[in-house]
Chains A and B, each alone.
Chain A
Amino acid sequence: MKETRGDRAFTVFNYIFLAIVALVVLYPLIFVLSASLSNPEYVLSGDMWLWPKEFTVEAYEKVFQNKDIINGFINTLKYTFFGTLLNIVMTICAAYPLSRRELKGKGVIMAFMVFTMFFSGGLIPTYLLIRDLGMINTFWVMIIPNAVAVWNIIIMRTFFQSIPHELEESATIDGAGHFRILWSVVLPLSMPVMAVMVLFYAVGHWNSYFQALIYLQDQSKFPLQLILRQILIQGQVDDMIKSTSESLLSQKLSIEGLKYAVLIVANLPMLMLYPFLQKYFVKGVMIGSLKG
Chain B
Amino acid sequence: MTLANKPTLEESSAKETKISNKKQREKKNHWAEWKKSLRKNWELYLLLVPVILYFVVFHYYPLYGLQIAFKDFIATKGIADSPWVGFKHFERFFDSYYFWRLIKNTVGIGVFTLLVAFPVPIIIALLLNEVKSLRYKKFVQTVIYAPHFLSTVVVVGMLLLFLKPDGMINQVIMLFGGNPIDFITEPAWFKSIYVLSDVWQTMGWSSIIYIAALAAVDPAQHEAAMIDGASKFKRIIHINIPAIMPTIVILFILNMGSVMAVGFEKVFLMQNDLNISTSDVISTFVYRSGILEAQYSFSAAVGLFNSIINFVLLIMVNKIAKKVSDTSLW
The answer on a CB contact under 8 Å between B232 and A46 is no
**Given A123-B286, A233-B269, A289-B209: A6 and B300 interface contact (C-beta under 8 Å):** no
**Given A18-B131, A96-B47: A278 and B291 interface contact (C-beta under 8 Å):** no
Partner of B160, one of A125, A203, A214, A232: A232
Interface flag for B252 (CB, 8 Å)? no
Q: Mark B286-307, 1 if CB is under 8 A from A, else 0.
A: 1100110000100110011011
A271 to chain B, nearest CB (A): 9
Partner of B62, one of A25, A129, A144, A208: A129
Beta-carbon nearest neighbor of B47 in chain A:
A93
Interface flag for A155 (CB, 8 Å)? no
The answer on a CB contact under 8 Å between A207 and B286 is no
Segment of B5-13, B15-23, B91-99, B122-130 engaged in the interface with chain A:
B122-130
Q: Mark A170-188, 1 if CB is under 8 A from B, else 0.
A: 0000000111000000000
**Given A122-B307, A209-B153, A214-B291: A128 and B65 interface contact (C-beta under 8 Å):** yes
User: Measured between alpha carbons, how far is A173 from B209 in the docked complex, in Å?
Assistant: 40
Residue from A32, A49, A121, A225 whose CB has the most chain B CB atoms within 10 Å = A121
Segment of B110-118, B143-151, B185-193 engaged in the interface with chain A:
B143-151
Interface flag for A14 (CB, 8 Å)? yes
Interface flag for A28 (CB, 8 Å)? yes
Interface flag for B156 (CB, 8 Å)? yes
User: Measured between alpha carbons, how far is A19 from B128 in the docked complex, in Å?
Assistant: 11
The answer on a CB contact under 8 Å between A31 and B59 is no
Partner of A292, one of B58, B60, B79, B250: B250
The answer on a CB contact under 8 Å between B47 and A275 is no
- For window 251-291 of chain A, which residues contact chain B by CB distance below 8 Å? 259-260, 263, 266-267, 270, 274-275, 278, 282, 285-286, 289-290
**Given A1-B226, A93-B47, A148-B54: A123 and B161 interface contact (C-beta under 8 Å):** no
A234 to chain B, nearest CB (A): 10
B180 to chain A, nearest CB (A): 11
Chain A residues in 8 Å Cβ range of B286? 122-124
Main secondary structure of the interface of B (DSSP, over half): helix
B279 to chain A, nearest CB (A): 13
Chain A residues in 8 Å Cβ range of B161? 32, 232, 259-260
Interface flag for B51 (CB, 8 Å)? yes
The answer on a CB contact under 8 Å between B65 and A125 is yes
Interface flag for B43 (CB, 8 Å)? yes
Q: Mark A210-232, 1 if CB is under 8 A from B, else 0.
A: 10001000000000010011001
B312 to chain A, nearest CB (A): 11
Partner of B291, one of A123, A148, A228: A123
Q: Mark B193-229, 1 if CB is under 8 A from A, else 0.
A: 0000000100111001100110000000000001000
Beta-carbon nearest neighbor of B51 in chain A:
A94
The answer on a CB contact under 8 Å between B166 and A32 is no
Chain B residues in 8 Å Cβ range of A147? 54, 58
Main secondary structure of the interface of A (DSSP, over half): helix
Interface flag for B52 (CB, 8 Å)? yes
Chain B residues in 8 Å Cβ range of A93? 47-48, 50-51
Chain B residues in 8 Å Cβ range of A167? none
The answer on a CB contact under 8 Å between A7 and B231 is yes
Interface flag for A162 (CB, 8 Å)? no
Interface flag for B37 (CB, 8 Å)? yes
- For window 217-253 of chain B, which residues contact chain A by CB distance below 8 Å? 226, 231-233, 247, 250
Q: Mark B254-273, 1 if CB is under 8 A from A, else 0.
A: 00010000001100010000
Beta-carbon nearest neighbor of B299 in chain A:
A124
Interface flag for B3 (CB, 8 Å)? no
The answer on a CB contact under 8 Å between A178 and B41 is yes
The answer on a CB contact under 8 Å between B139 and A129 is no
The answer on a CB contact under 8 Å between B212 and A112 is no
Partner of A125, one of B63, B124, B175, B209: B63
Partner of B158, one of A90, A94, A263: A263
Interface flag for A120 (CB, 8 Å)? yes
Chain B residues in 8 Å Cβ range of A125? 61-66, 68, 300
Chain A residues in 8 Å Cβ range of B275? none
A266 to chain B, nearest CB (A): 6
The answer on a CB contact under 8 Å between A46 and B168 is yes
The answer on a CB contact under 8 Å between A22 and B144 is yes
Interface flag for A134 (CB, 8 Å)? no
Chain A residues in 8 Å Cβ range of B304? 122
The answer on a CB contact under 8 Å between A113 and B55 is yes
User: Measured between alpha carbons, how far is A290 from B130 in the docked complex, in Å?
Assistant: 22
User: Measured between alpha carbons, how far is A17 from B128 in the docked complex, in Å?
Assistant: 10
**Given A46-B171, A125-B62, A129-B65: A233 and B143 interface contact (C-beta under 8 Å):** no
Interface flag for B140 (CB, 8 Å)? yes
Q: Mark A126-167, 1 if CB is under 8 A from B, else 0.
A: 111100000000000000110110000000000000000000
The answer on a CB contact under 8 Å between A90 and B50 is yes
Partner of B145, one of A14, A94, A278: A278
25 contacts between A and B (CB under 8 A): A19-B140, A25-B204, A28-B162, A32-B158, A32-B161, A49-B168, A93-B47, A100-B41, A100-B44, A102-B37, A103-B45, A104-B33, A112-B55, A122-B62, A122-B286, A122-B303, A123-B303, A125-B62, A126-B65, A144-B58, A209-B152, A209-B265, A232-B156, A263-B154, A266-B151
12 new A-B contacts at CB < 8 Å, known A123-B303, A124-B299, A207-B151: A7-B231, A28-B158, A93-B51, A94-B47, A109-B48, A113-B55, A118-B314, A122-B286, A127-B290, A233-B156, A233-B157, A285-B208
Query: A-B pairs with the 9 shortest C-beta distances?
Result: A121-B62, A232-B157, A125-B65, A207-B151, A122-B303, A46-B171, A178-B43, A125-B62, A97-B44
